[in-house]
Every structure is written in C-alpha cells, then in structure tokens.
C-alpha cells in the first residue's frame, strides 16, 4: 500500500509539472539560463539523458529478475523517453542556432545578347558541430540523422527596394547546401539595378541581405544602354540620345567615345548631363561604375543624296579603352561583324530625318488707291522655305461685304522646297462702295507630313477715294478767274484817277 501511494504521487508530479521545468535526469530541475546558453543546456540534457538511460537499464534488469513491478519499469521507460526527447530538442536548438548562409560573391555581368545577369555564390558557414560532437561525446547516429553540416531546401530570390522580385527565375531552390561546397546560381535581372536584396529562406528561417553587385571585370568593356535608341528629328534641329554607360572592367577606367556609320553632314558631340560640358572621354572613379552621357546629333537644313528624308540612318556609339590603338575613321562605313570584332562597348542607334514645310507669302505692294467703279489686281509669290514639300496649298481672302474676289490659282497640289509659285488676286468693290479704307486679309494653308501648315496672313489695304466732278470744277475755276480779272481791272482804274 505504501509503494502504491508513492507511485500515485510520482505520477501526479509528472502530470502537473510543466515539461520545461523538468530535465529528465532523475530529478534534475530545468535551468532558465538554458534558453540563453543553449550549449550548456545541451550538456545538461545529455547528462539527464545518460542518467535516465542508465536508470532504465537498471530497472529493466530488476524487472527481469522479478524484483520490481511492470508499472515501475514503465515509469522508468517514460522518464527515459522524455529525457531522450529533451536531449534531442536541446541538440537541434544548438545545431539550428549555428546554421548560417553567407553570400561569397554577387557578380553582375552582361551576355552577348545584352541581358544583365547575376552570378550569386552562397556558402554554408555552419561551424562548431564537430567540436560539439567531440566535447559532449554525442552519438554518431544522431549526427548522421540530423546532418548538422547540411542545410536543405534553400530558396533564393532577388528583390528591389520596394520588395518586388526582379530575378528570373523568380526563385531558385538549392536542394542541399553543404559546408565547403559553395554552389553558384544565376539570375536574369528583370530590372537593371546595381543594388538589390538577396532573400534566403531555409527551414523556419528567413534572411535578407542588401548587397551591391560586383561588376564582371573579365570583359573589359563598357555596356551602353540608350533610353531612346530610335528617334525622329526634323532637318535643322538636334537629336539627343541619353545613354547609361556601365563599367565592366578592372584594367581600364578611361574610355574614348566615338561614333561610326553616321554621314559626315551630321555633326555630333557628347555632353555630360550634370555639368553640360562637352566631353570626348569618360573616366570612372573608384566606387562609381555607372555614368550618364548624352549624344547630340545636329542635322543640316537641307537633305542631299547621303541624307534623305524619311530614310533611317543606323549608326553605332563606341566606348574604346584609352590604351587601345584603335582609331576610327568616320568616312569609312563598318559592318556589324567588324564592330563586334573590335571588342569595345557599343550601342546601335537609329535616326530618321524628317522635313517640315514652311509656307511664306510675299508681295511687293499691299496698298492701293481706287475710285468707285475701279478694281484692284495684284500678284503674290508663294514660297516653300522649309525642308519638306508642301501638299494641298489653298488660298483665300477675307473681303468686305458685297465685294468680289478672284484668285488664280486658288489651289496648288504640291510645292517642293525652295520653289515658288505666283498667284493673281483681283478684288472688286460694289458699285455703291463708300469712300474710305478697306482691309483684306489674305490667308494661305497647306499640309506637310500630315501636319497643318499656315503662312503668316497678309493684309491688303485699299483706299477708295471720291470721284471728281469736272463741270463743277470748271465753274469754280471760271469764277476764280473772273474775280481775279475784276480785281485787276478795278486796280488799273484806281491808278489812272
């Protein structure tokens, strides 16, 4: 009866006491510092496990000899199993605490097709497992089962500042990451950046590291990316190409900028967008691997055989290492294969010259004086001073009420650059026109490359004078002559008296 009471008390103690307050070592109490010092907690758990195991072996031998009951053996077995579980938990806590993945290299490089790619090398830096095994004399079977030196199922991806995945594939999986065997994974960048976050997910852990990519120096070149590689520009204007030049070299940091396959009629110069200074060379300082450059192409006023309107011109920008003996002759055209064999950084650009028609109306005289019953006939010269032909020219005039107009011709189908045509205009006032000044506005419109073109309006001023009365004028003249004659006769008579 006494033994049965002791067994019941022990069972109640095991049920009511929290598991984390017992280290199964024959009554060894849990130490709260074990969570902080996991290695010491592992040592305590190992001692408890060994004690429980020895106690179980002893109780088993006593049971086989019939000295103790089966209940006592089962109680010892439960204590042994619980001590084993606690010991294994402590072991796993120490192992997983020491697992660490480091990024050895993150190299950004460019493929022959122009893709930006990342070569990422990871390393398993888990350490101290062999020392733990030797220090605590842990069984080989547990090590073989847990594989503390191997991190399995590692998921890797690249993120931008907003947390979006910018790698292709979006995530890649490393089946097993072993100590001393650093694997290398490759990503294609969906967004061209120099800084990104590497996200690592393994087990219950997630680690994020923000890194700056190294540049692959083996290519020894500058990668050139144009924001707008193809542009249209009217003759007489300037086309601006904004480019981003990224260094992939360790041997050179100064590069000469050249342009090939561009007609000699087109002038070019490179510009630093920040300082607005013209440059011919590009120098990278330490820590700066990317620079912005603008290429300005000046188009002439007129087209010619080498520069035709609406025909694209493909040319190439080169970044040549300063130490290279390569010299560029702009008068010589180069094929794509020749440019590729140069081994220099390059970017192909395209320019489409566009012409714009400019309509001008000229006249030698814009002021006329008439009397009622007369009309005004005049001429105007229409000139295309632009760089593209004009289509569908139309002429019109805003005349006063009841006036009549005649324009010959009032339409012209096409007018090429620098050419001119003469038109004739006749304005006829009504018979009862009043005396005064009348303004007539002459307008000319056309289209060029589907764009509306208007000439500056010309204003014709017509002064209508009153018609003179000859009979009244003659009478007035005779009266004046009579008065003069009378005055003379009267004066002579006075002198004779």
54 CB neighbour count, 10 Å cutoff: 12
Residues 6+ apart with CB under 8 A from 317: 224, 226, 241, 243, 257, 258, 259, 295, 346, 347, 349
H or E element in which residue 434 lies: none
What is residue 148's three-state secondary structure?
A: coil
d(CA 93, CA 87): 10
126 and 99 in contact (C-beta within 8 Å)?
yes
371 and 464 in contact (C-beta within 8 Å)?
yes
The 10s digit of each residue's pLDDT in 3-61 is 344 334 443 343 334 444 443 444 445 555 555 555 566 677 777 878 888 888 888 88
176 and 70 in contact (C-beta within 8 Å)?
no
Residues 6+ apart with CB under 8 A from 415: 357, 382, 384, 389, 390, 393, 421, 446
Please choose, from the candidates 265, 123, 139, the residue with its C-alpha nearest in 3D space to the C-alpha of residue 181. Answer: 123
126 and 179 in contact (C-beta within 8 Å)?
yes
pLDDT digits (tens), the chain, 497 positions:
443 443 344 433 433 344 444 434 444 455 555 555 555 666 777 778 788 888 888 888 888 888 888 888 888 888 888 887 787 776 666 666 557 889 999 988 888 777 888 999 999 887 655 555 555 555 555 555 556 678 888 999 999 999 999 999 999 999 988 888 899 999 999 988 889 999 999 877 888 999 988 877 666 778 888 988 999 998 888 999 999 988 876 666 789 999 999 988 899 999 999 899 999 998 887 777 788 999 999 998 888 877 888 889 999 999 988 878 788 888 888 888 888 888 788 899 999 998 888 899 999 999 999 988 899 999 999 999 888 889 999 999 999 999 999 999 999 999 998 899 999 999 999 988 888 999 999 999 999 888 899 999 999 999 998 876 667 677 888 888 888 888 887 777 777 66
Please choose, from the candidates 208, 227, 108, the residue with its C-alpha nearest in 3D space to the C-alpha of residue 165. Answer: 208
d(CA 117, CA 213): 11
157 and 120 in contact (C-beta within 8 Å)?
no
d(CA 207, CA 203): 11
pLDDT number for residue 164: 94
The 10s digit of each residue's pLDDT in 388-406 is 889 999 999 999 999 999 9
Q: Which pairing describes strands 313-321 and 172-178: parallel, antiparallel, or unpaired?
A: unpaired
pLDDT number for residue 156: 95
What is residue 161's three-state secondary structure?
A: coil
Q: Which residues pair with 421 in a beta bridge?
A: 382
Residues 6+ apart with CB under 8 A from 246: 110, 215, 222, 223, 224, 225, 289, 290
262 and 382 in contact (C-beta within 8 Å)?
no
**What CA dihedral angle connects 68, 70, 74 and 75, to 10 degrees?**
-50
Query: Residue 79: phi, psi to the nearest 5?
Result: -65, -40
User: Whole-model pTM above 0.75?
Assistant: no
Angle, helix 70-97 to helix 2-16, in steps of 10 degrees:
20
DSSP state of 113: T
CA angle 379, 384, 388 (to 5 degrees): 160
pLDDT number for residue 363: 92
d(CA 245, CA 215): 13
310 and 352 in contact (C-beta within 8 Å)?
yes
d(CA 31, CA 141): 27
239 and 266 in contact (C-beta within 8 Å)?
no
491 CB neighbour count, 10 Å cutoff: 9
What is residue 313's three-state secondary structure?
A: strand
Provide the percentage of residues in the chain whose pLDDT is more than 70.
81
CA angle 65, 70, 73 (to 5 degrees): 85
d(CA 388, CA 390): 7
d(CA 472, CA 70): 160
């Amino acid at each position: 009866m006494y033994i049965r009471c002791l067994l019941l008390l022990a069972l109640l103690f095991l049920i009511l006491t929290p598991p984390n307050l017992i280290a199964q070592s024959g009554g060894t109490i849990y130490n709260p510092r074990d969570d902080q010092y996991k290695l010491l907690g592992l040592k305590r758990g190992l001692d408890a496990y060994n004690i429980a195991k020895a106690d179980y072996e002893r109780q088993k031998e006593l049971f086989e000899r019939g000295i103790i009951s089966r209940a006592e053996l089962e109680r010892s077995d439960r204590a042994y199993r619980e001590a084993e579980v606690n010991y294994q938990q402590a072991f796993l806590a120490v192992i997983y605490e020491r697992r660490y993945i480091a990024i050895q290299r993150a190299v950004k490089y460019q493929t022959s097709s122009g893709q930006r790619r990342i070569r990422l090398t990871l390393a398993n830096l888990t350490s101290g497992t062999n020392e733990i095994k030797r220090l605590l004399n842990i069984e080989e079977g547990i090590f073989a089962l847990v594989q503390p030196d191997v991190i399995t199922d590692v998921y890797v991806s690249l993120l931008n500042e907003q947390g979006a995945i910018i790698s292709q594939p979006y995530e890649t999986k490393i089946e097993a990451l072993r100590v001393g065997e650093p694997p290398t994974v490759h990503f294609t960048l969906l967004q061209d950046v120099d800084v990104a976050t590497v996200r690592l997910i393994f087990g219950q852990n997630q680690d994020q590291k923000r890194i700056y990519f190294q540049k692959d120096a083996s290519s020894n070149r500058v990668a050139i990316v144009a924001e707008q590689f193809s542009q249209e520009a009217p003759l007489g204007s300037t086309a601006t190409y904004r480019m981003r030049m990224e260094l992939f070299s360790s041997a050179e940091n100064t590069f000469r900028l050249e342009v090939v396959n561009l007609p000699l009629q087109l002038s070019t110069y490179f510009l630093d967008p920040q300082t607005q200074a013209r440059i011919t060379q590009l120098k990278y300082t330490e820590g700066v691997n990317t620079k912005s450059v603008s290429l300005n192409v000046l188009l002439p006023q007129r087209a010619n055989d080498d520069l035709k309107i609406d025909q694209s011109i493909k040319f190439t920008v080169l970044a040549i290492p300063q130490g290279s003996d390569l010299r560029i002759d702009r008068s010589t055209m180069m094929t794509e294969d020749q440019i590729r064999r140069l081994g220099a950084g390059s970017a192909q650009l395209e320019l489409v010259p566009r012409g714009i028609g400019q309509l001008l109306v000229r006249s030698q005289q814009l002021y006329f004086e008439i009397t009622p019953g007369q009309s005004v006939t005049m001429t105007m010269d229409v000139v295309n001073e632009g760089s593209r032909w004009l289509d569908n020219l139309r002429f019109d005039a805003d005349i006063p009420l009841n006036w009549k107009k005649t324009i010959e011709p009032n339409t012209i189908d096409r007018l090429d650059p620098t050419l001119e045509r003469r038109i004739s205009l006749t304005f006829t006032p009504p018979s009862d026109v009043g005396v005064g000044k009348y303004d007539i506005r002459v307008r000319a419109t056309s289209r060029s490359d589907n764009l509306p073109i208007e000439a500056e309006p010309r204003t014709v001023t017509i002064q209508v004078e009153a018609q003179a009365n000859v009979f009244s004028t003659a009478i007035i003249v005779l009266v004046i002559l009579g008065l003069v004659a009378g005055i003379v006769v009267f004066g002579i008579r006075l002198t004779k008296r």
